Structure 1
């Protein structure tokens, strides 16, 4: 395979409408199927792909999904051996889960060590996300890393699945049965009620609910997928709100991510989160992501729209 041939994590094939029982039996397997993109060839100087969407209660495409798909599409076009080290994306419109997501990749540059790609995600001819990602060959250089803060072992932290599985409600069913990641908030989640105290920090353990193929671009894309669901929670926690606050309206606006080292989403990762500011119906969330052995694997920042009725 040449360096210019698009590469994808497995063949794409037509998918029937999802059976929710099948998703509940293997939510991670279904997510991996959704991330298998179909290549349509090169058009007007861009490599064009398409993908399906995961079911969502509100009918809108989950932002982390289209981030992951955009990164995988871009990564399929770079020279072999180059991995994503940074990504900057803007969410432009809400997507519809019933329409395919079309992904157009522009090859901005291939240098001796770095490659840059721009991906636009479309539905109905309108952009729903615009992203630029940079890829680099493995190279030696200066090494240092932040220290992971003290945190209880993930096995000693209550899983959101255990909290929500006993509740007979569609939202509880979705978060406990159809999600591909096990999420464990060290100081309690915000799914049902505000936190015990107002603070702009939180610690969250997370890992996939099963093994993931040994493909580093896929693992990095899945990290982008998973983090989107919790990035703005420190804003809610500081304001004394939960996901059940009446009239809450929340949406990701932009997303920046840096991968520092190899990441394995099927092993426990600690998200050390904070929020430095909230104003003008916008809130900023940040996270440092550590492997369980204390290795810093990624840094993330996201701004989102957060509106609560007066």
Structure 2
């Protein structure tokens, strides 16, 4: 449910810029990386003036998160300047870091503006959601519903049968939004887009070779993740996410993601490098 996700993104203040977060999928085989990224952003946002919006987050995944225990977030106030603020966040379980990230926040500035146009793809009304597809195929994994839960509506422009993928171009387009309306809180919408941002990225590298995360001959994991925010948006309205494969080499895959509003505004860019190798 969407309320469960909103509760997960609302952290408990433990004092001294420390925060505690709980897990969205306690029965899952691991903690979803997008959850840790979003909670780290939420923790940092608690320590920054609301006028300063996040414009970048750079993170490294260090260990797999355990779903049966909460995650502790410790924020370091690295700097507060005239127009920028910097924060460093360490996410830990059992006193061992599972993610480290740096974030930068900025006061509004409209000096220049340029972007590439919205890709020409089918609109979401013509498409089935990933949840509908999973239910129709009888393959809904109720313990780890990232794109198939009742909290998010995710619709692939050209769906992939991840149980039997065929090699195709490493470009995936998906429409995404929450299933219900949200409060007018820009920080919450940024946290939710960060949660979205870990989806379909490694998949773009895998599908190039006709492989998927179901392939037990492969070892896959997110290594590092960066996101840049360019403009305001709402996570409860349709966002087009494009995932484009940049390079597969050295047992790693590198993918670029972009988020656009329905009106064509490019609001965020993501880069992720992942482990992708034969066991």
Give the drift of 1:156.
0.7
Give the drift of 1:173.
7.5
User: Is residue 76 of structure 2 the alignment partner of residue 103 of structure 1?
Assistant: no
Give, in whole Å, the separation in 1 of the partners of 2:149 and 2:240.
22
Tell me the alpha carbon deviations over residues 159-211 of structure 1, each in whole angstroms, 9 at most, x when there is no partner.
1111111343452785476352111111113433314x510212111111111
**Which runs of 5 or more structure 2 residues have no equivalent in the other structure?**
none
Give, in whole Å, the separation in 1 of the partners of 2:244 and 2:271.
10
Give the drift of 1:294.
0.4
Give, in whole Å, the separation in 2 of the partners of 1:56 and 1:229.
19
Give, in whole Å, the separation in 1 of the partners of 2:161 and 2:193.
21
Q: Which has the larger radius of gyration?
A: 1
Question: Pick from 225, 230, 236: which aligns with 1:260?
Answer: 230
* 3-state secondary structure, aligned to 1:166: helix
User: Is residue 4 of structure 2 the alignment partner of residue 34 of structure 1?
Assistant: no
Conserved? CA contact 1:208–1:265, under 8 Å: yes
TM-score by length of 2: 0.94
Give, in whole Å, the separation in 2 of the partners of 1:199 and 1:172.
29
Which range moves more in the overlay, 205-214 or 101-110?
205-214
Give the drift of 1:81.
0.7
User: Is residue 113 of structure 2 the alignment partner of residue 139 of structure 1?
Assistant: no
Question: What is the number of residues matched between the two proteins?
Answer: 278
Pair 281,58 (structure 1): closer, same or farther in 2 beyond 3 Å: farther
Give the drift of 1:143.
1.1
Give the drift of 1:140.
2.3
Give the drift of 1:80.
2.8
Provide the residue aligned with 1:10 in structure 2: none
Conserved? CA contact 1:190–1:242, under 8 Å: no
1:45-64 correspondence runs (5 A) = 47-55=17-25, 58-64=28-34
* 3-state secondary structure, aligned to 2:256: strand
User: Is residue 196 of structure 2 the alignment partner of residue 222 of structure 1?
Assistant: no
Cα RMSD (Å) of the superposition?
Answer: 1.8
Question: Pick from 43, 62, 65: which aligns with 1:92?
Answer: 62
User: Is residue 155 of structure 2 the alignment partner of residue 193 of structure 1?
Assistant: no
Q: After the TM superposition, which segments of 4 or more aligned residues of structure 1 sit over 4 Å from their partners?
A: none
Question: Pick from 120, 145, 152: which aligns with 1:181?
Answer: 152
* 3-state secondary structure, aligned to 1:303: strand
TM-score by length of 1: 0.85
* 3-state secondary structure, aligned to 2:236: coil
Tell me the alpha carbon deviations over residues 258-296 of structure 1, each in whole angstroms, 9 at most, x when there is no partner.
000012111111112211111122101111110010000
Provide the residue aligned with 2:244 in structure 1: 274
